Amino acid sequence: MPCCPADPLRGIEPADAMIHRLMVGDLPRTTAYQEAINRNKHLFHGKTVMDVGAGTGILSLFAAAAGATKVYAVEASGTAQLVNKVAKQNGFDEVISVLNCKVEDVELPSGVRIDVMVSEWMGFYLFHESMLNSVLAARDRFLAEDGVMFPSEARLYACPCSLQGLYEEKITFWNNVFGFDMSAVGSSVLDATAKKPEVCVVKQDDLLAQPVCIKTIDLRWVETNEITKFSENTFVSITKRAPYHGLCLWFECDFNGLDYNENGDSIGELVTLSTSPFSAPTHWKQTVVTLGAAGTERSSIGPEDGLQTDHDIADDTIRTKSKFIEVEEDEVIGWRLEFEQSESNARHYTITLQMLDPEEDEHPEPCSCGMARCLIIAKLIENEMQAAAGTKCNPEPVVVEETAAN
């Protein structure tokens, strides 16, 4: 299907309008894009920009206001016709060209290359319902050799967490309902919760360890096979005694505009959008991969198994062989988290969670879990790096404190 200008007869559905209102009104999200573009106008002034998945056109407007010569706003839905109107209302109708089609169907004029590709492609836990595959396809077709991707880097984080408050609200409520024991309902809710990612706001105090980055994506160079299936073994030291209900996932995106001008002076800034529990809440919230109810064991959960979340991510599934457990301060725990893209829908993933034995299973190198062997390996690696850099003639001896975890 060839790409075409926006159809003025197509409108926006009320439900779609609500979604766009939610996203544009998400101040941490939209402000991050605005600041990233405004503080790095040297990347946009006089340049050709593509906005992949333009929605109602706010990112295209930011780019045009920053001095872009041409902005291609690519939007497959009926909102594309509104971008035309919005561009004209703001005096950018000669700058912003709206293409009402999938980005895979776009055909640019001969010889046109994109200097900056901007997109808000991220989904829950970065990957769910994300447009990343489409963005990478557009990058490979249209981005100039010295072109820039905004955001430039994305990182996925994981941290063990407690959901005591959430479970008390959703499950314990059923223990005594007007004097009746209805805990069977609570057990059913808990059972369903264990099957699907839980999208909710996780408080800082509910995190049980230092967060760990489990996946980094350089948007300029990442290949699609790197996001089709990936996994990571992780070990951490628990910071307080609490019930361990699952792994909290969130992401950060960097917009790196740091550069040097012709005089050798540094210009531009690094702007970061964070969806962590330490930052202002966003519509992405956080995603928790739950461990499962005590006494249950799950190994293969399919899309037909129901859903209990604040947001509909029913097509993403969890496979887990775990239980809710009580953890102690300084205890080392480990897990293996695997993400596998659906063959039928690249925007959906199956998440596989496996608990690891810190004593028996292999740790990554370096590992910051605090166990003695990991401290030794980390110090050896540090000494090797320093020696290679020529910063030390005599590497420091490896010393492990007696109080280190075994």
pLDDT digits over 49-97, tens only?
999 999 999 999 999 999 999 999 999 998 898 999 999 999 999 999 9
373 and 351 together in one domain = no
347 and 371 together in one domain = no
Q: Is residue 248 part of a domain?
A: yes
What confidence tens digit (pLDDT) does each residue in 227-252 have?
999 998 999 999 999 999 999 999 99
For residue 177, pLDDT beyond 80: yes
Q: Is residue 401 part of a domain?
A: yes
Q: What percent of the chain has pLDDT over 70?
A: 83
Side-chain-side CA neighbours of 198 within 13 Å: the count stands at 25
Q: Residues 105-118: what's their mean pLDDT?
A: 96
Q: Is residue 141 part of a domain?
A: no
242 and 268 together in one domain = yes
Q: Is residue 145 part of a domain?
A: no
159 and 111 together in one domain = no
Contact of 312 with 71, CB cutoff 8 Å: no
Specify the range with the lowest mean pLDDT, choosing from 32-46, 141-155, 194-208, 331-345: 194-208
Q: How far is CA 68 from CA 5, 37, 56, 172, 316, in A?
A: 20, 11, 18, 55, 38
What residue numbers bound the domain in which 60 lies?
A: 1-120
CATH of residue 345's domain is 2.70.160.11
- Neighbouring residues of 312: CB distance < 8 A, sequence distance ≥ 6: none
185 and 236 together in one domain = yes
309 and 287 together in one domain = yes
SS3 207: strand
101 and 210 together in one domain = no
pLDDT recorded at residue 386: 84
pLDDT recorded at residue 14: 60
27 and 88 together in one domain = yes
290 and 169 together in one domain = yes
Q: Residues 315-321: what's their mean pLDDT?
A: 51
Instruction: Tell me which amino acid residue 132 is.
Output: L
Domain count, the chain: 3
349 and 370 together in one domain = no
For residue 154, pLDDT beyond 60: yes
User: Residues with catalytic annotation?
Assistant: 120, 129
Q: Is residue 34 part of a domain?
A: yes
User: What are the φ/ψ torsions at residue 34 (nearest 5 degrees)?
Assistant: -60, -45
CA-closest candidate to residue 213, choices 167, 159, 171, 164: 159
Contact of 90 with 84, CB cutoff 8 Å: no
369 and 323 together in one domain = no
Q: Is residue 147 part of a domain?
A: no
Q: Is residue 138 part of a domain?
A: no
Q: Is 179 exposed, middle or buried (0-12, 13-18, 19+ CB in 10 A)?
A: exposed
288 and 188 together in one domain = yes
| Cross-strand pairs, 198 | 288
In this prediction the pTM is 0.84
Q: Residues 293-315: what's their mean pLDDT?
A: 35
Q: Binning pLDDT at 50, 70 and 90, where does residue 159 land?
A: very high
Q: How far apart are CA 98 and CA 74, in angstroms?
A: 6
Q: Is residue 125 part of a domain?
A: no
For residue 141, pLDDT beyond 50: yes
CATH of residue 110's domain is 3.40.50.150
